[in-house]
Amino acid sequence: MIPSADPFDTATLAALWRAAALASALVLAGCGRPPQPAEPPRPDGDASYVVLISFDGMGPDFLDRTETPAFDRVANAGVQAEGLIPAYPSKTFPNHYSIATGMYPANHGLVDNRFYDPELDAVYSIGDRDAIRDGRWYRGEPIWVTAEKQGVTTASYFWVGTEAPIQGVQPTYFKYYDESVPYAARVDSVLNWLALPEIDRPRLVMLYFDEPDWIAHRRGPGAAAVDSVVRVLDGHLGRLLDGLDTTPVADRVTVILVSDHGMKAAPTDQVIFLDDHADLDGVRTIYTGTQAKLYFGGDTARMEQVYRSLADRLPEHAAVYLPEETPARWHYDQNQRIGDLVVAADPGWVVRPRDGRPWRGGGSHGWDPYHPAMHGIFLAAGPAIRPGDAIPPFENVHIYPLVARILGLEPAGDIDGRPEVLEGLLEPVRP
């Protein structure tokens, strides 16, 4: 029960109002505050804010095919990249965490949407809620951990990694993933967080939309249904942008729009059945559509036998690699979670087991991130961004140092992203 207060005691009333507002926000966040780092929150002053929004599976061409006034509003006020180059494999979990950490998957640990860790003797899968919330799977330092450790409050609505304590830290406000939550409710939570009193207000807010990935997988990336979903997303983005204009920090918010990957058609007749080309009996094999990872548990002789068989017999649309043989641009080695062998399909082809479920076609992703169809989007606007023309494609690991710079944070020291790549996007720092 809230204690009674003298109606003329303005300090008490203000404190009660802040407590009520914070309690309301925590209900919207779906959680209480996790244990906080030792450094106290910074005074807000005229500090910058970042709202980082991901649209899963949004390719740059998706924005060119239909009317997108809200996306255009961001592009016209700031900058837009011709494409955002994902990390390999161009899958959802590895790339959301690469954006968050500034690291390639082999370094941050999420090497695919599904993989095996020999040290833990366990499988990580995006459908396993216990694994997703287990901090042992996550390496590196995501941007919300960097911020919270330095006294900057953060909030996340469904960003990969935020459900687990990483270095013992989670965002001050976060949501456990529930795809049934309407997009409008997600937008409302973001606006409510940014309307909190200064002492409780997050300066970094991360928001995730699971479309147009779902519809593009099922209908194919060129389907009219994809364009319809993109227009729906544009409407929610427009509502968010309008709502930001009404918050106390309207003139201090930089909005960054990204996606984790693009999408390409994968016809039903472009399937490679891996076990047709080698004896895989007893070999732990994890298929993720565009690739397969093979784990031999230290049996070097068996690994060499399977490697030779696949190298000799695989059709031209797939290749087998030792991790150290993968293309250098993939940065995909030096991590036991990758497996002893990697079989990677060419863009448009998938790798499956012969006795698995039939490939139903539609769209897919996960191939070489430098293939244009795998590129995501990057748009940014706000007081920290210098308006300009379209910029060339760049790797998504460079977003972490950009966000850190805007928020005035000291970035983690072991990242792959380089601040100089996007330095030209920033307005000069005010004295």
Nearest to 330 by CA among 103, 95, 87, 115: 87
Q: Which residues contact 285 (CB under 8 A, 6 or more apart)?
A: 274, 292, 293, 294, 295, 353
Query: Catalytic annotation on 146?
Result: no
157 three-state secondary structure: strand
The one catalytic residue among 10, 12, 68, 92: 92
292 three-state secondary structure: strand
Whole-angstrom Cα distance, residue 87 to residue 39? Answer: 33
Q: Tell me the two tokens of residue 346.
A: 């060419």
Nearest to 142 by CA among 421, 397, 425, 336: 397
- The residue behind tokens 């991590």 is 335
For residue 259, the Cα-to-chain-centroid distance in whole angstroms is 7
Burial 234-259, CB ≥16 within 10 A → b, else e:
bebbbbbbebbeebebeebbbbbbbb
DSSP states of 310-348 as a string?
HHHHS-TTEEEE-GGGS-GGG---S-GGG-SEEEEEPTT
What's the Cα-to-Cα distance from 1 to each of 16, 79, 205, 335, rounded to whole Å?
Answer: 11, 50, 31, 53
Whole-angstrom Cα distance, residue 357 to residue 162? Answer: 32
CB atoms within 10 A of CB 261: 31
Residues assigned a catalytic role:
92
